[in-house]
Amino acid sequence: MTPKEVLALCREKDVKAVDLRFIDFPGIVQHFTIPVGKLEEDVFEDGLGFDGSSIRGWQAINESDMLVVPQPATAFLDPFTDLATLVMICNIQDPITREDYSRDPRNVARKATNYLKSTGIADTCYTGPEAEFFIFDDVRFDQNQHEGYYHIDSIEGEWNRGRDEKPNLANKLRYKEGYFPVPPADQLMNIRNEMMQTMIDCGIDVEAQHHEVATAGQCEIDMRFDELVRMADKLMLYKYIIKNVARKHNKTVTFMPKPLFADNGSGMHTHISLWKAGNPLFAGSGYAGLSDMALHAIGGLLKHAPSILAFSNPTTNSYKRLVPGYEAPVNLAYSQRNRSASCRIPMYSPSPKAKRIEFRCPDPSCNPYLSFSAMLMAVIDGIQNKIHPGQPLDKDIYDLEPEELAAVPKTPGSLEAALDALEADHEFLLRGDVFTKDVIETWISYKRDKEVDAMRLRPHPYEFCLYYDI
């Protein structure tokens, strides 16, 4: 869609407001709204000003002026506003130099795809994230000087089997048995259908929707793969739609990786493949039908996985999911079909076009622009340096003998460890000026200060169970 076509759409749909959105550093959508009469064709070139110092991880207060530049190809009609509203995602620029802002996550993703093209390896990187989430009925939490707690409730939760609900109609999902019972056990079918249809109406190609493994409303809606930047755009829209449809039904959604203890967490298995001139490059005659290029791509992912996880698993809560026993891929190995490996080669179709790598570590708390870009840069490094991934691990990893399991590298055990890994291993991200040094340094310092240290300083409720009577 061109600027002229956007303006024509506004007239055709009698749009009254234009919502301009962008992604902050940690990965939350920000926005402001203008009357449709203020959207003129030159806005697509000149942009509009805003205060960048109020955005997390961005400008200092003495350099606060920044520009949002609407991207017409991202336009869609907001399905939730009472007033007819058109939405566009924006790129961020410096108003003086007119350079794209280095800490704009969407700019990082655009540079990653451009760098891929410049290497001559491929011209397109397709990604396909499988983001899981929980739909809850009631969530309360607080942390202050004298108390810290959270309370979660769900009509589906196994813990509600004995609650007096006047009447309690049973059909509560047992722990780890949410995959794939039909209604009435699955009580969220209609809501997921509404989410799915709203996504389709907004231009997202949806492949399937279903309940996930955990009790208490764990769900997944799968989108068809797309080019890296477009896919990151779609994932942000995906989250927006899911949260707002849930809100319409007086429910709430979280993409936290591990909101429930002792049940499965929410991952975001991410599929990746490279193409050139319309031809897939990962199909071949090697292991699992892979090309040498694909094997080297896996080698890059496995080598750099600890530092990638600083972006793909960027919260302290992420590492409460990455523990043994819940299908979480804590072992850095690759395999066909084996879901306990961190890199899996799906074998659903013999078509070369379907050949791809599934990186199973990421979770949906990530900023997709940064996560997808870090994965792509590791893939490129693996291909350029012919990094072989070693032997595949086709056994059940959790049934290995202790000495055999000890030889398998592990994911970091905490966000702090992942940030340490990123600090030690980030040169591959700097190539092509994709992740600049200020992005790496700001990410590490922000996460350590705002999240790692913030968690370390606060007493945990379970510490009282362990230590109060000492």
Q: Are 286 and 292 in contact (CB under 8 A)?
A: yes
At 251, list the tokens.
């429910």
Q: Classify 372 as helix, strand or coil.
A: helix
Helix axes 415-424, 292-312, angle to 10 degrees: 120
Residues 6+ apart with CB under 8 A from 9: 1, 15, 75, 86
For residues 335 and 344, give the distance between their C-alpha atoms in angstroms, rounded to a whole number. 5
Question: Under 8 Å CB-to-CB from 3, ≥6 apart: which residues?
Answer: 41, 44, 72
Q: Are 345 and 358 within 8 A, CB to CB?
A: yes
Q: Peptide bond preceding 184: is omega within 30 degrees of 0, i.e. cis?
A: yes
Q: Is the omega angle on the peptide bond into residue 80 within 30 degrees of 0, that is, cis?
A: no
Catalytic residues: 51, 130, 132, 212, 220, 269, 339, 358, 360
Residue type, 175: Y
Helix (H) or strand (E) holding 233: helix 228-248
| Three-class secondary structure of residue 208 per DSSP | strand
Nearest CA to 23 among 71, 79, 86, 64?
Answer: 71
